[in-house]
Amino acid sequence: MINSTQVSYFTLAAYFDTGSFKYLFFLLILSLYVFIICANVLLIVVICMNRSLHEPMYLFLCSLFVNELFGSTGLFPFLLVQILSDIHTVSAPFCFLLIYCAHSYGACEFWTLAIMSYDRYLAICYPLQYHIRMSSKKIAMLIALTWLYSFLVHILIVFGLTAPLQLCGNIINKVSCDNYSVVKLACSDTRANNIFGLVHMFTVIFALIILILFSYIRILIVCFSGSKQTRQKALSTCTPHLASLLNFSFGAFFEIVQSRFDMNYLPNMLRIFLSLYWFTFQPLINPLLYGLQMSTIRIVCRRLPRSCCSAPSLVCAASGL
């Protein structure tokens, strides 16, 4: 039996010997990380530099892209080091830090997507009252609430509930640290973790799901009862968000299944893919979805290289003229 005073590190058992292919995997993961950083930073700069994009939807998108940078940076550098390493261990404090980053990223992503659903509902169902209902003060409050909740609550979850547990093992069958995998190693009472998890699921998570469903049911009602122009507008603004929401839901589902059920019968590569899906495909697909699907962002991105060629044009672009 291993008690909590002896668990100073965790072994990540999902890694396997790939020989010289590890350099190929390293380059692939590095390329994905560089693309995620460049794409999200580009869209953040485009939104911040152009006053025409200082609308509620784009400000929420900017918050979403910042969270993508945070989430991917919380995983990819660690993953790159582990790919090249022959010993796949991580110290206990750093493991809990990775868990905190993962949970904060996921919570912030879910909150932002839920608020964006509500924003689309107001824009389509109440277009004349939209800027009154979604004022600058309300936007700032919603974004601040999203980030404060995501980061403060998960300090309690990770460092208040999970870290103090007495552990009877130190092997995690994943490529990165996972909260539920650590809780499963506990030989002390985990009722507080279970109760908090259930309360959190049936209050916050369930409430956000209801908000998303309510928003899109109302949007569908307006689309079916409105004109062709209304349907086209709703489709063009909601398609990227729905695709992002579905992609996030698939990633969360894979993460839950991977953590709570025995997946040893699956090939190692498939298990690794499922465990990384959440952190790779969401920050990878979101810039493509919003950058390519939304005409306003496409137009501004096309103008950006030309505006950078001359100082006067750059000043005009920055001032939104």
Tens digits of per-residue pLDDT, 203-237?
A: 888 889 899 999 988 888 887 776 777 777 777 77
Q: What is the pLDDT of residues 6-34, one digit of tens each?
A: 578 899 988 877 777 888 989 999 999 99
Q: Per-domain residue ranges for the chain?
A: 9-319
Q: Do the beta carbons of residue 56 and residue 126 sit within 8 Å?
A: no
What string of DSSP letters covers 109-164? HHHHHHHHHHHHHHHHH-GGGHHHHT-HHHHHHHHHHHHHHHHHHHHIIIIIIITT
What is the pLDDT at residue 97? Answer: 93
Q: Is the pTM of this model over 0.75?
A: yes
Question: Can you list the residues of the chain whose pLDDT is less than 70?
Answer: 1-6, 226, 262-264, 292-321
Choosing among 3.40.50.280, 3.20.20.70, 1.20.1070.10, 2.170.270.10, the CATH entry for 9-319 is: 1.20.1070.10
What is the pLDDT at residue 249? Answer: 87
